[in-house]
Amino acid sequence: MSGDETRPGAAPVPEEAEESVPFETPDIHGAYPRLSDDQTARLAQHGRRRAAEAGDVLIREGERCEMFYVVLSGSIAIVEGYGTPGERLLRVHGPGRFIGELGLLNGQMAFYTAVVRDPGEILALSMDQLRDLVTRDSTLGDVVLRACLGRRALLVGQGAGFRIIGSRYSPDTRRLREFAARNRLPHRWIDLETDQEAEALLRRFGVGPDQTPLVIWRDTTLLRNPSNAELARLIGLPSLGSGNGRSDVLIVGSGPAGLAAAVNAASEGLGTTVVEAMATGGQAGTSSRIENLLGFPSGISGAELTERAVLQADKFGARISLPAEAARLERRDGHYAVGFADGSEITARTVVLATGARYRRLQVPGIEPLEGASVHYSATVYEAQQCRTDPVAVVGGGNSAGQAVLFLAGYTPQVYLLVRGPSLEAHMSRYLIDQIERHPRVRVLLRTEVTEALGDKELEAVTVVDHRTGEHRHLEVRALFVFTGADPHTDWLSGALALDARGYVLTGAEAQACSVPELWQSQGRDCLTLETSLPGVFAAGDVRSGSVKRVASAVGEGAMSIHFVHRYLGQTAAPGGTDSSPNTRPKESAWLA
């Protein structure tokens, strides 16, 4: 490649820019594969060849991705802030490479501009053509999917995308950062308290500190303290359609159980809608690596598992909408109506509750003001990047804590694992214990509990007590990650159906025992295994009382819930009243493996 500029006024591109433009994270996930001649030929059977002139813009930042491009000759530059003073070259693609990242597959707005640098020829496919091809060609589909997921991770690591300007002490700033992080949206946080860039940006846009947090994208779009829904619309995340929708099955929650239910329901012809309050994937979506899930011998990240499931559900026609916070559930005219916090409503013949659980807040002095700044309830790349030179502590003794420890140990010089119990064996899988015990940067402190968080504006240390000796001491850590049990997302269901003493949803015989006998007598049957105290409403995954808190079991329960949905619909089938004509017989072969 030559050293010509991408366009007049742009920064020069070095020789062999395709290989030499650096990233903070190595290309270990197949983010930039070079397609073989055979793969390119298979794509060419469905696409259209066209000439590419220098300066042609193929994908524009802030616009929806609609085409898939393969470079046949010449080169294409990937640029952030194209045409602005802050323009930044991210990558240059040569022959055999293709253009796109995760937003290409799920219909989000582009976080970069793709512009032809050296003239040549490209192959263009519509998204419908690409989806059809990759679903029929698993090898090619896997190459494209892994690359798109890897590129999204790299964009996140580079701080590409929109900017959030706000104080670390602002609850709304923490809310926006959490929403962006949980949805794996490329962004950069500019701290109003410490970042000199913040003041310059506020002056530029004529905004005072009291009007923050702000979301700025492409230096042309500014949102003042937007809601999560407003940010979602800006990026192009899927939302509820206008008016009251009606489905065969409404799935509330999109963790492993909800997504498994969606794949099975939609693949079997049921009109399927999934609603999610925060982000697809649930707690599992924040896991750095899940190694005990059947079919993934080398492990899989929660983000990749989530995105694969989302694409699978979309392929079969399931509609996924977020953020949509369920607020009420009521039976109406033989159907169920679920109302949402924004006033919208969806009516469905059946409902699957898969809202999961949220990590319990740690209740110790001094911790609340630091939450979101240096006390966290998930461990993602966003939090890890803030801890590169500082020791951190993880509280908890389960698999989530173990996965977080190993993930953070790849970023920080020292990770303390604080466990209240006498051993790790009680709640943690052996494979995680073995890795933790071997890791040189991990130190496990058993029978140890946090009693206080110390620090004014950010965490400086935690006070811990050793229950064996009664000794109190300080651990100098700059971040605290908490994974101490969970509470179910069922506040909105109180009074609507039967819950256990801890708020988890009762199902099967336990649910029937809490119902009036006439209810099930009128059904002419007993309560089904995953059915709640409301006929036709089912629960799957962590939200269900007595469930096994593992990804594999949640996936199994999600699939099994649709088996029971079919049985219910088969018993209550009536002409009309639905948007589709589902086959109400269970299809065992269609279950998610």
pLDDT band at 245 (very low <50, low <70, confident <90, very high): low
Compute the distance between CA of residue 201 and CA of residue 205 in angstroms, rounded to an integer: 6
Q: What is the pTM of this model?
A: 0.86
**Would you say residue 91 has pLDDT above 70?**
yes
**Would you say residue 590 has pLDDT above 80?**
no
290 forms beta bridges with 300
pLDDT band at 24 (very low <50, low <70, confident <90, very high): very low
pLDDT of residue 573: 67
Tell me which residue has tokens 């993880």: 394
Domain of 226: which CATH number? 3.40.30.10
**Hey, which of 145-149, 298-302, 312-316, 434-438 has the most confident mean pLDDT?**
434-438
79-87, Cβ contacts within 8 angstroms, sequence gap of 24 or more = 79/6, 79/10, 79/112, 79/113, 79/114, 79/115, 80/111, 80/112, 80/113, 80/160, 81/218, 81/219, 82/57, 82/112, 82/113, 82/115, 84/218, 84/219, 86/219, 87/10, 87/11
- Angular region, 520: left φ>0, alpha ψ -120 to 50, beta rest: alpha
Compute the distance between CA of residue 464 and CA of residue 454 in angstroms, rounded to an integer: 11
pLDDT of residue 387: 81
**Taking residues 196-200, what's their average pLDDT?**
89
Compute the distance between CA of residue 205 and CA of residue 2 in angstroms, rounded to an integer: 38
Domain of 136: which CATH number? 2.60.120.10
pLDDT of residue 242: 57
When mean pLDDT is compared across 14-23, 485-494, 517-526, 539-548, the lowest value belongs to 14-23
| Distances in whole angstroms, Cα of residue 218 to Cα of each of 74, 83, 102 | 27, 10, 19
Residues 34 and 136 in one domain: yes
pLDDT band at 469 (very low <50, low <70, confident <90, very high): very high
Number of domains composing the chain: 4
Of the candidates 247, 254, 371, 248, the one whose C-alpha atom is nearest the C-alpha of residue 311 is 254
Single residue among 235, 270, 295 that ends a domain in this structure: 235
**Would you say residue 62 has pLDDT above 50?**
yes
Residues 400 and 454 in one domain: yes
Of the candidates 374, 269, 310, 362, the one whose C-alpha atom is nearest the C-alpha of residue 585 is 269
pLDDT of residue 243: 55
Q: Does residue 10 fall inside a structural domain?
A: no
Residues 64 and 49 in one domain: yes
Compute the distance between CA of residue 541 and CA of residue 398 in angstroms, rounded to an integer: 17
Compute the distance between CA of residue 488 and CA of residue 66 in angstroms, rounded to an integer: 39
- Complete edge-to-edge strand list for the sheet that includes strand 375-376: 375-376, 479-482, 392-395, 415-418, 442-445
For 58, residues 6+ apart whose C-beta sits below 8 A from its C-beta are 52, 67, 69, 76, 99, 114, 115, 116, 122
Compute the distance between CA of residue 7 and CA of residue 566 in angstroms, rounded to an integer: 59
Amino acid at 165: I
Residues 106 and 196 in one domain: no
Residue pair 260/360 in contact (Cβ under 8 Å)? The answer is: no
**Would you say residue 23 has pLDDT above 50?**
no
Residues 310 and 373 in one domain: no
Backbone angles phi, psi at 173, to 5 degrees: -60, -45
**Hey, which of 27-41, 45-59, 191-205 has the most confident mean pLDDT?**
45-59
Of the two residues 2 and 394, the one the predictor is more confident about is: 394
Residue pair 282/396 in contact (Cβ under 8 Å)? The answer is: no
When mean pLDDT is compared across 139-148, 239-248, 260-269, the lowest value belongs to 239-248
H or E, element range at 222: strand 221-224
Residue 216, domain extent: 162-235
Mean pLDDT of the chain: 87
**Would you say residue 50 has pLDDT above 60?**
yes
pLDDT of residue 579: 40
pLDDT of residue 5: 36
Q: Does residue 343 fall inside a structural domain?
A: yes
Tokens of 550: 């593992």
**Dihedral in degrees, nearest 10, Cα atoms 81, 82, 86, 87:** 110
Q: Does residue 428 fall inside a structural domain?
A: yes
Of the two residues 416 and 381, the one the predictor is more confident about is: 416
Q: Does residue 307 fall inside a structural domain?
A: yes
For 354, residues 6+ apart whose C-beta sits below 8 A from its C-beta are 251, 252, 253, 254, 255, 257, 258, 261, 539, 540, 541, 543, 554, 558, 561
Domain of 435: which CATH number? 3.50.50.60
H or E, element range at 77: strand 67-80
pLDDT band at 78 (very low <50, low <70, confident <90, very high): very high
Residues 422 and 516 in one domain: no
pLDDT more than 70, % of the chain: 91
5 forms beta bridges with 12
pLDDT of residue 13: 38
Q: Does residue 191 fall inside a structural domain?
A: yes
For 280, residues 6+ apart whose C-beta sits below 8 A from its C-beta are 183, 254, 259, 306, 309, 310, 320, 322
pLDDT more than 90, % of the chain: 62
User: If DSSP states are collapsed to H, E and C, what string results for 327-374?
Assistant: EEEEEECCEEEEEECCCCEEEEEEEEECCCEEECCCCCCCCHHHECCC
Residues 151 and 51 in one domain: yes
Count of CB atoms situated within 10 Å of the CB of 265:
33
**Would you say residue 272 has pLDDT above 80?**
yes
Count of CB atoms situated within 10 Å of the CB of 239:
15
Compute the distance between CA of residue 46 and CA of residue 61 in angstroms, rounded to an integer: 26
pLDDT, one tens digit per residue, over 94-144 is 999 999 888 888 888 999 999 999 999 999 999 888 878 877 888 888 899
Compute the distance between CA of residue 415 and CA of residue 281 in angstroms, rounded to an integer: 26
Cα 58 off chain centre by: 27
Q: Does residue 398 fall inside a structural domain?
A: yes
Residues 176 and 154 in one domain: no
Compute the distance between CA of residue 98 and CA of residue 348 in angstroms, rounded to an integer: 41
Residues 373 and 262 in one domain: no
pLDDT of residue 574: 47
Half-sphere exposure (Cβ direction) of 320: Cα atoms closer than 13 Å: 32
**Taking residues 547-574, what's their average pLDDT?**
92
Residues 335 and 454 in one domain: no
| Distances in whole angstroms, Cα of residue 190 to Cα of each of 79, 214, 223, 481 | 21, 10, 15, 22
Single residue among 235, 260, 285 that ends a domain in this structure: 235
Residues 252 and 350 in one domain: yes
Residues 384 and 437 in one domain: yes
**Would you say residue 315 has pLDDT above 90?**
no
**Would you say residue 27 has pLDDT above 60?**
no
Q: Does residue 6 fall inside a structural domain?
A: no
